Amino acid sequence: MKSSTRQYFQFAHHHILLLTLVYFSGRVLDAHAVPKQRPFNNTIPAILVFGDSTVDPGNNDYINRVFKGNFPPYGRDFANHAATGRFTNGRLPSDYIILYMGIKDYIPPYLNQSLSIEELITGVSFASAGTGYDPLTPTLSKQLEYFQEYRERLEGAIGKEETGDLIKRSIFLLSAGTNDFALNYFTEQLRRLSFSASNYEKFVLQHFKGFIQGLLSQGATKIAVVGLPPMGCLPVIITSNTIPLTGRQCVERINSVARDYNTLLQSEMRHLQSTQLNKETKIYYADIYGPLQDMIQNHQRYGFEVVSRACCGTGLVEASFMCNAKTPVCPDASKYIFWDAIHPTDRAYYLIFQAFRPLIDFIIKDSTS
């Protein structure tokens, strides 16, 4: 189980996003209504996304990675039932956010070389499934290189000054960290040989800090950072940590590490914020743990019927190439929190987006003040 579980995690990392922004306790049950666009957003021109599979709209389709989601049944409920490379049955939270902000319908993958200048100007995702902060995973440093290339392309098209202004006014969204803990620490246990859990948290945070400083050096002034989700509730984690026939429950010792890390992450973000000389720079914490945990604990309130298994296959371990056109899939994914053994369904992602809407509104308002 360990070797196969590692495979499912490498591109995953989870789960969950994403996405963005602080958990306000308001809960919205209408999970498939298209979010209304916000006419008041006349200040933020683009969203630039970094991270793992929770915000990867298909970049892995264009690089030499085993872990892809560009085949059925992925995308079953996306526009035209297209398997775009998103590791879910429909949209990602970042797609819902950019639609809500009135910028465009979806965030495309940067590595799609057919993107127009208009698509580049209004926002792209550099995220890649399997990415983490730890150098044992595909690291975020490569995404920073892609961003520098992106900046050069824009400078050639619209000029250096216009590009600098665009970057200054854009939102940078970062969703990563699950692969570091779920894969390197708890599944493969590679880092457990030399780190206690608390020391590994600090190790990951050092790499996080370096990445944020890289974004700031490139002109970013609005950065939303997603914390860790309740990793112990991922179906694949439950499977690898549960004795058969004893019942499937979230793994609390793994969830407790996620909570501890999120506390340290917020402290580090406050420190980074306090040291910025540019007072326009804002770093926002995005709590994904609270909304997802609430969905799991109170699933009937949200209309979910299945919590600890996924829609695809047995729901225990399948993800990426193990969730394919020949794999049985549940008839109604909206009854499930998880689409595959790592990633949430479109409906769960939409509810996460709904929980984040107040912070999205706050960032937009904060940008006008």
Please identify which of the residues 53, 128, 170, 334 carries the catalytic annotation. Answer: 53
Q: Is 13 a catalytic residue?
A: no
How many of the other CB atoms lie within 10 Å of CB of 118?
A: 9
**pTM confidence score:** 0.90
Output the CATH code of domain 47-367. 3.40.50.1110
Please identify which of the residues 56, 134, 294, 340 carries the catalytic annotation. Answer: 340
Q: Is 3 a catalytic residue?
A: no
Please identify which of the residues 94, 308, 343, 367 carries the catalytic annotation. Answer: 343
In degrees and rounded to multiples of 5, residue 368 shows phi and psi of -95, -15
54 touches 92 (CB < 8 A): yes
- Please report which residue ranges of 82-234 form alpha helices under DSSP H: 93-100, 117-121, 140-158, 160-169, 178, 197-217
Q: Is 94 a catalytic residue?
A: no
Helices 140-158 and 160-169, packing angle to 10 deg: 130
Per-residue pLDDT of the chain (369 residues; tens, 9 = 90+): 444 444 444 433 333 333 223 333 333 334 455 565 554 567 899 999 999 999 999 999 999 988 899 999 999 999 999 999 999 999 999 999 999 999 999 999 999 999 999 999 999 999 999 999 999 988 899 999 999 999 999 999 999 999 999 999 999 999 999 999 999 999 888 899 999 999 999 999 999 999 999 999 999 999 999 999 999 999 999 999 987 767 899 999 999 999 999 999 999 999 999 999 898 999 999 999 999 999 999 999 999 999 999 999 999 999 999 999 999 999 999 999 999 999 999 999 999 999 999 999 999 999 886
